[in-house]
Amino acid sequence: MSDSGYGDNGAIAWVNCPSGATETGSNPNRTCYGQRLNWNTYSGYASTWNTTYGARYVACRELGHTIGLRHTAQTGSCLRSQTPNSATTNTYSGQDVTQVLNHY
């Protein structure tokens, strides 16, 4: 994990595959072992993650990406394409869990 003020880059947090990490497959099914979570502490995004709910939502979302989940339209998932302030859950949907179980 890496916390830093990355500036107004449009991303509150993201995961990436650092150089030297083991990669398999290709997009959209690329897998990276050893992904790095980058948390943008830029003050302009503070309203998104400065509450317990917002921080949990962002953490849930990015953790989902580290295990291979992508954004979804599925309700009841922190991977749903929405902002933390309009999010309705800090959990994974049944569909998310099924994807992980089928993959691993």
Q: What is the pLDDT of residues 58-95, one digit of tens each?
A: 888 888 887 878 888 888 888 887 766 666 778 898 88
What pLDDT score was predicted for residue 69? 85
- What are the helix and strand counts (H, E) for the chain? 3, 5
- The Cα–Cα gap between 42 and 6 comes to 6
Higher-pLDDT residue of 49 and 9 is 9
What pLDDT score was predicted for residue 63? 85
Please say whether the beta carbons of 60 and 92 come within 8 A.
yes
At CA 29, angle to CA 57 and CA 23, rounded to 5?
95
Q: Read off the pTM.
A: 0.71
- Nearest CA-CA partner of 75 in 49, 61, 103, 94: 94
What pLDDT score was predicted for residue 6? 92
First to last CA, the chain: 23
What tokens does 31 get? 């897998």
Give the other-Cβ count within 10 Å of 36's Cβ.
14
For the chain, helix, strand, coil in percent to 5 are 35, 20, 45
Question: pLDDT category, 9, cuts 50, 70, 90?
Answer: very high
Q: What average pLDDT does the segment 22-40 reach?
A: 79
How many domains, the chain? 1
Domain extent at residue 65: 2-103
Work out the percent of the chain whose per-residue pLDDT is above 70.
90
Beta bridge partners of 22: 33
